[in-house]
Structure 1
Amino acid sequence: MKLSKQLNLPAISMSGFETPLSEEEGAIQQSAHAFARDVLRPLGRELDGMTAEQVVAPGSPYYSVFTEAAKLGLDSDLLAQLPPDMAVRVESMVGEEMGWGDAGLAVSLTVTAFPGEMAKTVGNQELIDLCAGKIGCWMITHPDKGSDVGAFDLKREWPQGQPGNKGNMFAKVGADEIVINGQCSAWVSNGAVAQVALAYMTADYGDGFIGADGRPNGVAMIVPLDLPGVSKGKPLEKIGQRSLPQGEVYFDNVRIPKRFAIALQDEYYGNVASAWSFAGTHMGQMFTGVARAAFEMALEYCNQRKQGGQLLMDHQLTRYRIGDMLRRVELCRAVARRSLAYARLTPQGHPWATASGKVTVTEEAMKVVSEALQLFGGNGLTREYPIEKLFRDARAALIEDGDSYMLTTRLGFLAQQMYEDGWTKN
């Protein structure tokens, strides 16, 4: 127990009730916060007022975010130099600051690194060089194959006698090259602007697209998007995260060298699960930042706005509501960090384990943002106040990277599988 001789306010930081940061951690957090405050937040508001086609047009201010982000040097190479536990906390704080600045741009910056990070993970220098300096995307969902990409156990998750979902984007894998046809989903983040993709799709290795167990065969690869036969659709007009360009990419007999594959037939589903295990953790960090931004806006407003003859903050019910919001922000941060630590440090993760954290954080963030908007009253419904943008941005997260109901259902299925394997029986 630590004893104080006088009553003090608690130690507090940008990221709430934080244990003391090292000098290096504090400097990184300050740099990330300054970038979020001075670059992401004003740029996100500017892009929010533009059409989707204006956002992706040549000369758009959107593209400046990549140049500015590169100056920070806050990437996986930095994290690799830190002790594992410290790296998790730093990655969490940086992700939170990015989400605090602008959710759409935070997602865009995270996804743009996916192809290059996968190339580093598999140790393919040719692919590392191919991805360097390019805007990336992660293509895994198709127009008719959204949450079906996560149907791993067809015996219990799929109608009996029915083959798995082939989807709309598929490849034929030959001895030396891969030929791609079809299209990815319009919801692919950065799809409208990406120059290179980390792509997952159904594949035919010479004996058909569907395996003996009914599950589609697959291939994962790095795909340059400047090849003959590649084209793009119009970017989506959305209610929220309008600073994140999303759209289809079409493939018409696009040929790439087989050496660009990073997971062939037998390794495909393991690679899918591994990639997805990390993807959801980023959503947790970013939307912790969104929840925190909403809380801070509400706290400031309630200390300025008067009703009933006094500041809103002086009303007992307002204090309860602010306290409940702060509690939920702390919950988001704790869950997001635990989820990231599990994904980074456990010897064997799983996408549905990570997904539970993503669902919890985005659901709680939505409650915080909604309550913040309610505290603003009618003002919260106007574009004059930024809280309405946060409301639109947060709402998308309940579907983005996996619908909350579907992910929670699959978490229940995972619990069933683990129980059958002996979990909780002792």
Structure 2
Amino acid sequence: MRIPKKTALILGLVVLLAAAAIWTLTRPSQAKPTASASVPVKVVSVIQQDVPRYVSGIGSVLSLHSVVIRPQIDGILTRLLVKEGQLVKEGDLLATLDDRSIQASLAQAKAQLAQSQAQLQVAEVDLKRYKLLTVDNGISKQTYDQQQALVNQLKATAQGNQAAINAAQVQLSYTQIHSPVSGRVGIRAVDEGNFLRMSDAQGLFSVTQIDPIAVEFSLPQQMLPTLQGLLATTPPAPVSAFLGDDGHSGLLLGEGHLTLIDNQVAAGTGTIKAKAEFSNKTQKLWPGQLVNIKIQTALERDALVVPPSVVQRGLDNYFVYRVKGSGVEVVAVQMAYQDSDLNIITGVQAGDVLVSDGQSRLKPGSRIEVLGETKVADRQSAMESKP
């Protein structure tokens, strides 16, 4: 059956109207505009506490006494009485040299002294006799004077013999090498049986004092007044030595005190050298070792303390984001002191809540959502435990 054109057009129009109605009823509704989303941040509270101030530098560990053991006479090394790395005390016998020739020279000098003393004894007896004979002119005055001169000559000879004995005894003492300091024996350079000479620059080995020990370091010349004040305190200012970073990640090697400031500033570098002395019973500090040193220069009382991540740097000053209701406000602050663990600031009050993370998305008046707040007690405990 054939449908007329007019009827077909009417049916098509009806279909289009129905489809439009269905689409209008079923199309997704547009989302209504919402208020600006809150910025997620982390916050901390401003803490008021006493904070020590420190200055840091790089130093080199030095022994207070280090001696290269060398012979004082030529001779054969007969015995080594210490081992490499052994700890010795001042006066300990370290080595001996062949002393036979010196012993013979000493015995010869003693024999010559005995001979001179015997001759002197006879000459003094004759002098007494001649003196009695001169009373009644039994002998001439010339004979008496000659005997007196002989006695004087023999006395001088005996004194020369005694000096030879003393010299031989000194030479004999050089055949026994004693430690001039207390310390640790280094690597041995020669073995027993070698012929040693006084001109040998190498020596037998070295003895280096390990405890106590010193650290020499340099600081900018601007620190000179501070160092002078620290040296004048009683007791002197404490100094800590670290291997690696001087913070929590560094290994504390020892704690000592400031002992010396150099007598001049290095003109080329604009620095001043200083020295600190350390007790080193555990031998963690070793001569020649490079260490980081930290000196407490002052104690800031009732300081306002925040973590370094809180303070932001503007074009002209420092600022922080302070929580105000459900939003934040910008507060200009002054940086009184800073290090890797904390900043001391002014311009806020103790207990103020400041943004510590998420500042990049903030602006004055921004709404915030606090994700987590650092526990004040935990952070304060961590700061107090900092060396």
TM-score, normalized by the shorter chain, greater than 0.5:
no
Higher helix share: 1
Tell which structure's C-alpha radius of gyration is larger.
2
TM-score between the two structures when normalised by the length of structure 2: 0.21
Q: TM-score, normalised by structure 1?
A: 0.20
